[in-house]
Chain A
Amino acid sequence: MMVRYGFLYDESRCISCYACIVACSSNNYPELMEDPNPNIFWGTMATNIRIVIKEQGRPEQILLSCQHCERPPCVEVCPTGASHVDRSNGFVEIDYDKCIGCKACITACPYNARWIHPIKLKPMKCIGDACKARIAKGEMPFCVEVCPAEARVFGDLDDPNSEINKRIASAKTVKIKEYLGTEPKFYVVRG
């Protein structure tokens, strides 16, 4: 069955408990749990979610991850075709058998949504393997499952009855850097 998954992050509801970040890390990268500097690219945990705080004016925070763009620059620049859009689910994915670790995708991603695995030396990003396994079982990815504030929604953008489409319909959403023509599938409700 073809689906087109997207994410919604509701900044107005987020409480900054960071359960999503921690759960993403321990479930998708358990091998890096004891690494003292697992993600030198972002200076944070081995996680696919990056904390972005805007201090100017009214402070805002976005917990940002791969936007699963319809027209992803990371796919565009990939010399081997490792980075690709999986049209069966809409995810931007990496075929690690093809990936040569050239980091072109990391440079090209305007969202800084990829980081380098310190052991595998290859780019990592949302969606992680543990989350993919959950989705295959009909469950929510970890970041959505653990959120106590209903600040995260995941679902099929092509299904008019999906929870994500209901939230998109009921709240004013924006997409980050949409002007770049990347057609992100990561909706943000601003605080």
Chain B
Amino acid sequence: MGDIILKNEQEKIKLTRRDFLKTAAFTALALSIPSGGLKLLESLTESEALSEQAPTSAQPLPAYIATSCGMCGGSCGIKVGILNNKPVAAVPIEGHPQPGLCGRAAMLPWLYDNALRLKKPMKRVGNRGEGSFQEIPWDQALNEIASKLKEIVSKYGYKSIAITYHDCWSSYIPLFTYLFGTPNGIPHVSTCHLAGSAARSQVLGIAGPNLVDPDYENASYLLLIGRSLSTGIMGQVQRARSNSKLRIVVVDPRMPEISFGNAEWIPIIPGTDPAFVLSLINVIIEEGLYDANFLKKYTNAPFLIKQDGKPLTEADVKQGGSSTTYMVYDSSSSSIVPYTSASQPDLNYQGNVTLADGSTASVKTAFLLLKDRASQYSPSNASKITGVDEDTIRRIAREFALYRGVADDTWYAAKNGNEYDAVKGILILNALVGNIDAMGGLVFQESAGIPSIITLVTSGGKTYAKTIYGASMPQEMFADSTQKRVDQLKYKLTLGTFDAVLDAILKDDPYPIRALFVIGTTPILRDMNASKVIEAYKKLDLVVFINVLYQDDADYADYILPDTTFLERDEIFATKWTPHAVVQMTRKVIEPPEDSDPREAVWAMFEIARRAFPERAYALGWKDEYADYSKFESQFVPSVIDAILNSVSSKWNVSKDRIKQELETNGFYLLKRKSYYSRPYKSPVGTPSGRVEIYPLAALASGLDPLPSYSPPAYTLPSAPNEFYLVNSKSPTTSLTATILEPSKFLEDRKVWMNPKDASRLGISDGDAIEIESIDLPGAKVIAEVRVTNRVREGVLYTRAQAGGRRAKKLVAMRHFSTNGVNPEFLAKVSLHPIIGYGATNCSVRIRKL
């Protein structure tokens, strides 16, 4: 450490002892010969002669196959090199709209035949949590799981089955819910992008984090708040880095890796992002730096809002008027008119309106309401909350407006419980400078139009669940599949809140859940209060863990089923992280290792259903011969891929063969390049008004404050000298899979970061061990080693998420490197947004030097 000596710094930096000795040795050698230069020359001449030999390039080279990476959920385009029947290398696919590569993908040679690879089905032989298993044949595992499921369903009904998952197999989850008659397929999103997705759907009418994204390669100024570009999707980094004119500013309590390079780092107090964003909005409005034309034409900024917060509609002012026609003040006609017919909508109107019933209502534009709200967060006020000085806030606001910047809409953001307001503010910020769907702005993705695996269709007065490959299940067989999910019963706007499943397991609230499939995910490293997850595991009647590696949650499984890796299966899907419409493939590039027998989770789920509820499996197109895995691979999988190809081919009017050929050769097929200035310019966005809503009417309808505001984080704030915020994030080498592969031992930093001022105040040195106890979960303690670094703000501790502190018995027994460090989920309490259902994985802690 600290031994970089660059030319223009040489006067400033003293040589270390080691450097001195080396330099001295070199100099001494040179001086020992009268003409040192001559000696050097002779040596070189000699080696020049040696170099006449042919270059050592005779070794065999790997053969490369274009596919997609599955080391995290990003699915970047990579080529996998196969040599001697092993995957030995990965390189990016040139020209791919979302090209790899990152350290995770580069680790794939370690994944294939890893010692932690799940190779055969296993059955628990000890108590849950002991981690004792024995290998059993597939048939036995499937029969026993099916038999237990039947028993559970007979007692508690179909909806007592739940499936939790992450990205892997996510497109098949709706199919699984019909297969098992349950509505409860519940993803990871409450600790990931849920807050952002709620804000996006309300402001921009589109939820998913990848459906709208900064146009990195054309942006001029990129503001990253709650996002670092350091995790996943290196194609985004490539696009940003290929843009030499791009300025990057990152706002984060710890310095993300991107700030080793040319990205300005603004250290902020954790959980204060909404106040920071509102302050930027305040400066931009107060200094008149906004794009008034965009706001008037394409947003609901000029909409008139009544004192009760609701928009003034035509129905308010005219008998028989429409309640979805929103009214604005048109300064050209000096009258209040429907927003669609105003030629000069006024952003700053406020006054009284006579309503249809003769009463008077006081109204104000949404823009003025935003202005009022933001005025509470002047740079001086916001500085006290955020710890970012006033001048910096003003400078960033001005730069953002003058460069017509783009603020990233975030991804893995559930940290402090107030991200919904932060992201809403971020989206409004983009709208204020008119940078929506503009080149270099926040742009909507062109849809590739990949069909859902299963959809509800009505024919002849009957409803069917129809699969893309032609099977259909009649309504009378739906069982509980089409009911509201257990989390949706609690959190009106959730897209997935796994904690609701835990309550259903532990408290039968609102009804009992007794069987859980954990597919391609690890809730112990994913969900707040991991101890609650463990408690729930212990109470279940059936836990099935399906994955490729042995993760912490496997300890609590009754059955462990080995899944195929992305190297051993075929899948087709839309490229996720690109503005263009692209279809790409994951291809089976190699057979699984010889001593293993992994099967795709899709096959396992169907085979369990065929044994438990055969009529359900057959209705969804399963055949007895698919029990033979080779038939599944050669018939079922191609039938799904073919159906998707047919659909894409007909939607885009391109021959299926051509798409297929390109997929095989290049790994992707570009269907349509991004067309800028589309929504909301030429077609409406999916909000109630069809415009970008800086005052989201959908939020109002759900009982939420439409405007962003700041409220403190969902956890107790640190106050004593030995109390800290504990913040977490992933690193550029983090994924649940990658962090237990050998390179991660050396590349992932599992120490807890502490600022040098805090360390000096508490007498802590680099490498010291500390005990960290959660303030909100007394008794929840971990031990960690400290890294003293100025890459973290004072008063804040930082740890990687999903990288360390693993507790699986198998890993502990191996003294596996991933048991070092902290799993912050054991320290964060469950605190969920009451309507959206997202949580906070950061927390506050008190520390003790050991």
CA distance A153 to B824 in the complex (A): 38
Interchain nearest-CB distance for A119 vs B (Å): 16
Residue in contact with B260 in the complex, picked from A14, A78, A145, A188, CB distance below 8 Å: A14
Inter-subunit contact A110/B19 (CB<8 Å) = yes
Inter-subunit contact A12/B262 (CB<8 Å) = yes
Residue in contact with A16 in the complex, picked from B260, B743, B745, CB distance below 8 Å: B260
CA distance A9 to B673 in the complex (A): 32
Contact with B along A71-85 (1 / 0, CB 8 A): 101011110010111
Do A52 and B59 contact each other (CB < 8 Å), given the known contacts A16-B230, A88-B51, A110-B19?
no
CA distance A76 to B786 in the complex (A): 41
Interchain nearest-CB distance for B422 vs A (Å): 24
Binds A, one of B25-33, B218-226, B365-373, B772-780: B25-33
CA distance A84 to B43 in the complex (A): 7
CA distance A52 to B590 in the complex (A): 37
Chain A residues closer than 8 Å to B235, beta-carbon distance: 148
Inter-subunit contact A16/B241 (CB<8 Å) = no
Interface size bucket, B side?
35 or more
Chain A residues closer than 8 Å to B39, beta-carbon distance: 76
Q: Taking each of A88, A149, A178, which has the highest tally of chain B beta carbons within 10 Å of its own beta carbon?
A: A149
CA distance A107 to B22 in the complex (A): 7
Inter-subunit contact A15/B234 (CB<8 Å) = yes
Inter-subunit contact B51/A52 (CB<8 Å) = no
Residue in contact with B790 in the complex, picked from A30, A52, A59, CB distance below 8 Å: A59
Residue in contact with B103 in the complex, picked from A21, A30, A61, A191, CB distance below 8 Å: A21
CA distance A191 to B180 in the complex (A): 54
Inter-subunit contact B100/A179 (CB<8 Å) = no
Do A22 and B261 contact each other (CB < 8 Å), given the known contacts A16-B230, A190-B6?
no
Residue in contact with A148 in the complex, picked from B8, B29, B99, CB distance below 8 Å: B99
A43 within 8 A of partner (CB):
yes
A159 within 8 A of partner (CB):
no
Inter-subunit contact A133/B59 (CB<8 Å) = yes
Inter-subunit contact B742/A13 (CB<8 Å) = no
Residue in contact with A56 in the complex, picked from B2, B230, B258, B743, CB distance below 8 Å: B2
Residue in contact with A81 in the complex, picked from B43, B56, B230, CB distance below 8 Å: B43
Chain A residues closer than 8 Å to B334, beta-carbon distance: none
Inter-subunit contact A145/B3 (CB<8 Å) = no
Contact with A along B205-240 (1 / 0, CB 8 A): 000000000000000000000000110001101100
CA distance A53 to B788 in the complex (A): 13
Residue in contact with A87 in the complex, picked from B44, B103, B229, CB distance below 8 Å: B44
B682 within 8 A of partner (CB):
no
Residue in contact with A175 in the complex, picked from B7, B99, B101, B262, CB distance below 8 Å: B7
Inter-subunit contact B30/A76 (CB<8 Å) = yes
Inter-subunit contact A149/B238 (CB<8 Å) = yes
Binds A, one of B105-113, B273-281, B458-466: B105-113
- Give the interface SS of chain A, mostly helix, strand, loop or mixed: mixed
* CB-CB nearest in chain B for A95: B50
Interchain nearest-CB distance for A99 vs B (Å): 12
* CB-CB nearest in chain B for A143: B106
A65 within 8 A of partner (CB):
no
CA distance A81 to B46 in the complex (A): 8
Inter-subunit contact B258/A15 (CB<8 Å) = yes
Interchain nearest-CB distance for A15 vs B (Å): 5
CA distance A93 to B260 in the complex (A): 31
Interchain nearest-CB distance for B303 vs A (Å): 42
Do A146 and B91 contact each other (CB < 8 Å), given the known contacts A26-B110, A75-B44, A108-B26?
yes
Interchain nearest-CB distance for B814 vs A (Å): 10
Interchain nearest-CB distance for B299 vs A (Å): 34
Inter-subunit contact B48/A149 (CB<8 Å) = no
Inter-subunit contact A26/B46 (CB<8 Å) = no
Residue in contact with B230 in the complex, picked from A15, A19, A88, CB distance below 8 Å: A15
Chain B residues closer than 8 Å to A107, beta-carbon distance: 22, 25
A44 within 8 A of partner (CB):
yes
Inter-subunit contact A146/B92 (CB<8 Å) = yes
Chain B residues closer than 8 Å to A188, beta-carbon distance: 6
A168 within 8 A of partner (CB):
no
A86 within 8 A of partner (CB):
yes
CA distance A73 to B19 in the complex (A): 13
Interchain nearest-CB distance for A56 vs B (Å): 7
Residue in contact with A26 in the complex, picked from B89, B99, B101, CB distance below 8 Å: B89
Inter-subunit contact A77/B29 (CB<8 Å) = yes
Chain A residues closer than 8 Å to B107, beta-carbon distance: 22, 26
Inter-subunit contact B43/A137 (CB<8 Å) = no
Q: Taking each of B90, B92, B259, B746, which has the highest tally of chain A beta carbons within 10 Å of its own beta carbon?
A: B746
Q: Which residues of A (166-191) have their CB < 8 Å from a CB of B?
A: 174-180, 188, 190-191
CA distance A81 to B39 in the complex (A): 12
Chain A residues closer than 8 Å to B30, beta-carbon distance: 76
Q: Which residues of B (574-633) have their CB < 8 Å from a CB of A?
A: none
CA distance A15 to B242 in the complex (A): 13
Residue in contact with A132 in the complex, picked from B43, B51, B56, B89, CB distance below 8 Å: B56
CA distance A34 to B88 in the complex (A): 13
Chain B residues closer than 8 Å to A134, beta-carbon distance: 61
Q: Which residues of B (27-67) have their CB < 8 Å from a CB of A?
A: 29-30, 39-40, 43-44, 46-48, 50-52, 55-59, 61
Query: Can you add 10 more A-B contacts, CB < 8 Å, to A54-B1, A93-B51?
Result: A16-B258, A18-B103, A23-B89, A26-B109, A30-B88, A88-B51, A112-B3, A133-B57, A177-B5, A191-B261
20 contacts between A and B (CB under 8 A): A15-B234, A15-B257, A16-B732, A18-B106, A20-B106, A33-B742, A45-B746, A54-B4, A59-B260, A60-B260, A75-B43, A76-B29, A87-B48, A132-B56, A134-B61, A137-B61, A145-B91, A148-B102, A177-B5, A188-B6
Q: Which residues of A contact B (CB under 8 A)?
A: 10-23, 25-27, 30, 33-34, 36, 43-45, 52-56, 59-62, 64, 71, 73, 75-78, 81, 83-89, 93, 95, 107-110, 112, 129-130, 132-137, 142, 145-151, 174-180, 188, 190-191
Q: Which residues of B contact A (CB under 8 A)?
A: 1-8, 10, 19, 22-23, 25-26, 29-30, 39-40, 43-44, 46-48, 50-52, 55-59, 61, 88-92, 99-107, 109-110, 229-230, 234-235, 237-238, 241-242, 255, 257-262, 731-733, 742-743, 745-747, 789-791
